[in-house]
A and B are shown apart, each in its own frame.
Chain A
Amino acid sequence: RKEVEQDPGPFNVPEGATVAFNCTYSNSASQSFFWYRQDCRKEPKLLMSVYSSGNEDGRFTAQLNRASQYISLLIRDSKLSDSATYLCVVRRGNQGGKLIFGQGTELSVKP
């Protein structure tokens, strides 16, 4: 079982739709959680951190459930420019705090 697992998609949604991505992690020592965005054939970039109380950044909402070892990302009012792959990332609490990446969920927003 992979340490960080995501639904690979692709998710195909119309503009304006709300879409949710899920991620589970298996290492209970995981300490910090993040969502990265990766455009086609580009490098990943940090989208947002995920805090225990949940957090929002414009149209993006991230939530964490430590008991279930589950992270989510909600995108409201999808734009064409949201089309990308979204990577769930977990930082281990031990082993030097290495960052472990999920395989990514691909999102395609259509007109």
Chain B
Amino acid sequence: NAGVTQTPKFQVLKTGQSMTLQCAQDMNHNSMYWYRQDPGMGLRLIYYSASEGTTDKGEVPNGYNVSRLNKREFSLRLESAAPSQTSVYFCASKALAGANTGELFFGEGSRLTVL
């Protein structure tokens, strides 16, 4: 019962370094999402992919890029990390983007600190 798997779970970066957060789901879901969660801000959508081959910006896309590698995998890249990107990152998936269901399945989160 893997569900949504994110790696790494923890990462410390220096300002200006780059890194990629990996996400994979084994539920044959079409839609995948990247959120960040900061204290007092709730979860904010960074990017999403409604289906394989498409990606769209969310609320806070600046400083990030994504790749929907195949139906299972959706990666998030920080090209030049900044302290403002210190956060907890959650990957999530959903069967269909437009379906009238709110059930997102989340990974366990990746805790990123940028010094």
Which residues of A pack against B, CB within 8 Å?
2, 4, 8, 31-34, 41-46, 49, 87, 89, 91, 96-104
CA distance A98 to B40 in the complex (A): 20
CA distance A44 to B4 in the complex (A): 12
Nearest 5 A/B pairs, CB to CB: A34-B102, A43-B106, A103-B42, A101-B43, A101-B42
The reply to whether B41 and A91 contact each other, CB–CB distance below 8 Å, is no
Given contacts A96-B50, A96-B56, A96-B97, contact A44 B106 (CB under 8 A): yes
The reply to whether B106 and A45 contact each other, CB–CB distance below 8 Å, is yes
The reply to whether B102 and A44 contact each other, CB–CB distance below 8 Å, is no
Residues of B in contact (CB 8 Å), total 24
CA distance A43 to B98 in the complex (A): 22
The reply to whether B109 and A43 contact each other, CB–CB distance below 8 Å, is yes
Given contacts A96-B56, A98-B45, A98-B48, contact A46 B104 (CB under 8 A): yes
